Amino acid sequence: MTPSASSACAPQVQQPRLPFWQVWNLSLGFLGVQFGFSLQNANASRILSDLGADLHALSLFWIVAPLMGLIVQPLVGSASDHTWNRFGRRNPYILFGAVAAALGMVFMPNAGIVVALVAPILFGAVMLALMDAAFNVTMQPFRALVADMVPSQQRTLGYSIQSLLINIGAILGSMLPFILTNVIGLENTSRGGAVAPSVIWAFYIGATVLLGSVLWTVVRTREYPPSQYNAYKGIDAGQLQQEGEQRRSLGQRLGGFCQLLIRMPRTMRQLALVQFFSWFALFIMWVYTMPAITQHVWGVEAKWFDPGYLKTVGEIPAHIAAAKGAAGDWVGIIFAAYSLFAALFSLILTRVAQTLGRKLTYSLSLALGGLGYIGFLLCQGGAPTQVDLLITQVTVPSGALGLLLPMAGVGIAWAAILAMPYAILSDSLPASKTGVYMGIFNFTIAAPQIVSALVAGLVLKTVFQNQAIYIIVLAGVSMLLAALSVFFVREPQPVTKVLEISTAN
């Protein structure tokens, strides 16, 4: 690990390995966060479309997600680096973000009830922004918490467990509206500009799971006190205190932040290119999978996503509403499928990375994801097919069933994206700046999504004539470019020699 100026002269104590279940507890709250995040990813476009959003404008509504990440995560990262109180260092931010996200999840699907005060589509967009800001407040400290508490030799394990729990949460969150419709019996069609009841209740349940799992992590995780943390990370506490006592103006703080950007580790710069192509593709998937499979698999014409056309026809025909509802539910199934494949792959990810190397594992995983997106083209329409999902039986076009195979590649890529860049990056970060650098690293997640939000809708409308399947293919090309970019990344050499000091000294 590259020492910071404040840690250059401090002796470093060997940080103890953690028991497996302690590493598990560190990340359990991420299960709930991803549960809620997956509900949002699978259903936000569906909700916004029901509230009156244009197909090509969906990506512009979604731009609030990366913008919140771009603004919130570096601020929270820096603040949590300098927070030490009886509740911990990262835990206060994790808990606050979870509470705010839960409130957003309760209010967003109920946008129609405020129609007398504000346009539902505007209220829905504001609640989407609130949820994204809150998710970002929670997510960044979670990643920094693993770096704080888990020693370097267990980092890949720590982030792999985090990836596993993320994907368990994603499976459950993605499938929930489908389960509520096909097992519980709630209606899945929207009427009169209102959100489907199955989606509303899914968001209520998601808010509950989010708060419960985060509380588990906060209660069960005791963060290291400052003196112990500084000893494990080789940080000179006296120097840190001297730096903290120096009052700096806003201009000086901005200048210091710019210096951090200029001096960011080389590995972070190289990973940024991989992140750009990866997250450009992921953003397209989250925004446009629902309209893509509704058109390509269920055969619903693009005009049924045009609010102007819908006004001319009055009420949507029952078979169109049913097809859109069924496709929206199936998005939850295939999103759950890629999360399941990701969870399974995360179980062997550490061993695969040890065998093939982290870079080759990362690159091959991204390549499989790119081929998966392109494979959507092969899953068009088809005869009605009955599918036994153990919990229920449904009838869908055969093309819908075929989508499960491409999602295997997407799931493998997703598991790698959640774990490998952080495992590669964490060894290159100065311990006293881990939180802020993890926040800065979020720029490489937020920026490509902002670019995608600004570009994808325009490309969909002007190049692909609102045929959303082709924007998914574009995502596949982007993911393949990400796989190639991995080979430009140089991994940092982990520290192998650590000065051990007995507790007696």
Question: Per-residue pLDDT tens for 428-468?
Answer: 666 666 666 776 777 888 889 999 999 999 999 999 989 99
Average pLDDT on 286-303 reads: 93
* Structure-block tokens of residue 199: 């989606």
Which residues does residue 386 pair with via DSSP β-bridges, in sequence order?
395
Helix (H) or strand (E) holding 177: helix 155-179
More confident residue, 420 or 115: 420
More confident residue, 215 or 240: 215
Residue 501: HSE in the Cβ half-sphere, 13 Å Cα cutoff: 12
Share of the chain above pLDDT 70, in %: 82
CB contact set of 113 (below 8 Å; sequence gap of 6+): none
d(C-alpha 277, C-alpha 272), whole Å = 9
pLDDT surpasses 80 at 6? no
pLDDT surpasses 80 at 107? yes
Q: Are 190 and 47 in contact (CB under 8 A)?
A: no
Question: Per-residue pLDDT tens for 125-150?
Answer: 777 778 878 887 887 777 778 778 88
184: DSSP letter: I
Question: Per-residue pLDDT tens for 357-369?
Answer: 889 999 999 999 9
Look up tokens 């609102």; give the residue.
466
Q: Are 156 and 419 in contact (CB under 8 A)?
A: yes
d(C-alpha 376, C-alpha 292), whole Å = 9
Look up tokens 């939000």; give the residue.
453
Q: State the burial class of residue 307 (Cβ atoms within 10 Å of its Cβ: 0-12, 13-18, 19+).
A: middle
Confidence of residue 255 (pLDDT cuts 50, 70, 90): low
Confidence of residue 71 (pLDDT cuts 50, 70, 90): confident
d(C-alpha 371, C-alpha 128), whole Å = 30
Q: How many residues does the chain have?
A: 505
pLDDT at residue 502, rounded to an integer: 31
pLDDT surpasses 70 at 175? yes
Helix (H) or strand (E) holding 460: helix 443-462
pLDDT surpasses 80 at 503? no
Question: Per-residue pLDDT tens for 10-58?
Answer: 566 777 788 888 888 888 888 898 899 888 888 888 888 777 777 777 8
pLDDT surpasses 60 at 309? yes
pLDDT, the chain, mean: 81
pLDDT at residue 471, rounded to an integer: 96
More confident residue, 417 or 497: 417
pLDDT surpasses 90 at 77? no
Helix (H) or strand (E) holding 384: strand 384-388
pLDDT at residue 26, rounded to an integer: 84
d(C-alpha 335, C-alpha 408), whole Å = 10
pLDDT surpasses 60 at 178? yes
